[in-house]
């Protein structure tokens, strides 16, 4: 019998570490967002996540799907994200846009913390393509949505099946913080309460 105690048994890593991460905000746009399931709660969770990522100094990429037709990122987020790079795309997957791939390579991160819409289209296709490129997609379940809860739920099932990490905004922020007693922990704790 082979002793497997202490071995990762096929998984490259288990922990998500802040220094290895970037955030990704997918297509939260003026003409898409109003028809998303659970919009108000979704927006509150996305703001919480983004504020937490900023506290932790995690860089953020933002995409907009065909903004000429779907509008820009919604005002309440564009104000928060004005310092971050916005990448226009027409491909459903962010990975289908060469400027996105260039920005991702420039950041040099191997893990992307993902929020956005729609879960069953752009979020799903992006996560699958990231996995193929060796990047770990961490999909924040309470920060993604679709027009129907069924589409979101099926997307989460498929994302799990394909190998994406599924988490929540509170869980990922505390995992990235790693311990209590630090100034970052105190700031994150105030956000969550």
Domain that holds residue 26: 18-192
Query: Is 103 a member of any domain?
Result: yes
Residue 1 maps to a domain: no
- CA dist 83 and 79 (Å) reads 9
CA 152 to chain CA centroid, nearest Å: 15
Structural domain includes residue 4: no
DSSP character at residue 135 = P
Catalytic residue among 21, 94, 115, 122: 122
Is residue 183 assigned to a domain?
Answer: yes
Tell which residue, 63, 2, 71, has the closest CA to residue 32. 71
* 75: annotated active-site residue: no
CATH code at position 76: 3.40.50.850
Q: Which of 89, 109, 129, 142 is catalytic?
A: 89
pLDDT tens digit string along 20-68? 999 999 999 999 999 999 999 999 999 999 999 999 999 999 999 999 9
Q: Going by DSSP bridges, is the β-strand pair 85-89/60-65 parallel, antiparallel, or unpaired? A: parallel
The shares of helix, strand and coil residues in the chain, as percent rounded to the nearest 5, are 50, 20, 30
For 151-165, the pLDDT digits (tens) are 999 999 999 999 999
6 occurs within a structural domain: no
User: Could you give the number of structural domains in the chain?
Assistant: 1
Specify if 10 maps to a domain: no
Query: Of the listed 27, 94, 95, 152, which one is catalytic?
Result: 27
Active site residue 89: yes
pLDDT confidence of residue 112: 97
């Amino acid at each position: 019998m082979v002793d497997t105690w202490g071995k990762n048994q096929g998984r490259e890593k288990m922990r998500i570490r802040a220094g290895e991460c970037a955030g990704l905000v997918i297509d939260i746009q003026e003409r898409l967002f109003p028809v998303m399931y659970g919009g108000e709660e979704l927006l509150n969770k996305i703001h919480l996540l983004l504020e937490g990522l900023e506290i932790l100094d995690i860089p953020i990429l933002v995409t907009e799907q065909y903004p000429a037709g779907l509008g820009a990122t919604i005002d309440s987020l564009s104000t928060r994200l004005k310092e971050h790079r916005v990448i226009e795309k027409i491909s459903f997957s962010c990975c289908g846009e060469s400027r996105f791939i260039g920005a991702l390579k420039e950041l040099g991160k191997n893990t992307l913390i993902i929020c956005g819409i729609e879960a069953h289209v752009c979020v799903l296709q992006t996560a699958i393509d990231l996995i193929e490129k060796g990047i770990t997609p961490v999909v924040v379940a309470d920060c993604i949505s679709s027009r129907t809860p069924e589409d979101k739920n099926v997307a989460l099932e498929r994302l799990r099946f394909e190998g994406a990490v599924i988490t929540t905004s509170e869980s990922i922020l505390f995992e990235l913080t790693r311990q209590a007693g630090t100034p970052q922990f105190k700031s994150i704790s105030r956000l969550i309460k």
